[in-house]
Amino acid sequence: MKLLLTSLTLLLLAGCASGPRIDRSHSSVNQDGRVQFVVLHYTNASQDQSLDLLTKGEVSSHYLIGSEPATIFQLVDENRRAWHAGESEWQGRTWLNSSSIGIEIVNKGYDDTPNGRLWYPYSEAQYQSLAALLKDIIKRNNIEPRNIIGHSDIAPLRKLDPGPLFPWKRLAQEGIGIWPNDQAVARQKMRFDFNPPSAAWYQQQLARFGYAIAQTGEFDVTTHHVIAAFQMHFRPERFDGQPDAQTAAILQVLNGMR
């Protein structure tokens, strides 16, 4: 009986070995990588709390950049999905967990004080770690510069991170992300000073850039939130959500950088 079982096992293995062969000599040109976006966050917690939350809680990210020292912790393999974006949309793609790499940075975010909201800066060491990590991710995944985005860009109705002190302009100067040319913005601003654009124009241009925004033709609550998110990214000195000539000029210039 033992000999019979051994013979049957060998026959089964032989059958598997002679099964259908997979031919990998033809590759479609119609494909790209899973990772299309990098989403940046602050943790609003200490380093120990952040590590605990991101490894044991209901949220996760691919990377965490610490505080002192600014260690880069990899918490999720890039080939796997991390739960950092939540309900989100950018350039018409929804639920960006499936198509993005999430990077959390240890930062308290902000405190509301009697003198107004106090935002916490990022350290130089954190910046250097983040810049090095982003350059590596962008190169390996061939990510478009405009797809280096903040949590507030993909979820403007509910998120503020990475906040107005995040160094978007400095990163763009190193080839990470995009930033408008100051002279081009000044020229466009003169145009919009005399001819302010409509709500429909803002909604169309914000959607073209990547934001999820309904085309209502009205300066409704959602539109003000999306304008504020755009301003916090590209004009962080004032992000009140109010449409103005400078905001329109920045948006016009950025949409011309395709």
pLDDT in tens, 18-75: 678 998 888 777 766 688 999 999 999 999 999 999 999 999 999 999 998 999 999 9
Predicted local confidence at residue 247, as pLDDT: 98
Is position 104 annotated as part of the catalytic site? yes
Catalytic residue among 87, 89, 104, 124: 104
Q: Is 133 a residue whose pLDDT tops 60?
A: yes
Looking at residue 129, what is its pLDDT?
98
All domains of the chain in start order, with CATH: 37-173 (3.40.80.10), 182-255 (1.10.101.10)
Confidence check: pLDDT of 15 > 60: no
Distance between start and end Cα atoms, the chain: 73
pLDDT in tens, 165-201: 999 999 999 999 999 999 999 999 999 999 999 999 9
Beta bridge partners of 111: 118
Question: 227, 206 in Cβ contact below 8 A?
Answer: yes
The 3-state DSSP class for residue 163 equals coil
- Residue 233, C-beta contacts closer than 8 angstroms, at least 6 positions apart: 150, 152, 153, 168
Sorting pLDDT into bands at 50, 70 and 90, what band is 9?
Answer: low
Write the single-letter amino acid at 9.
T
State the pTM of this model: 0.88
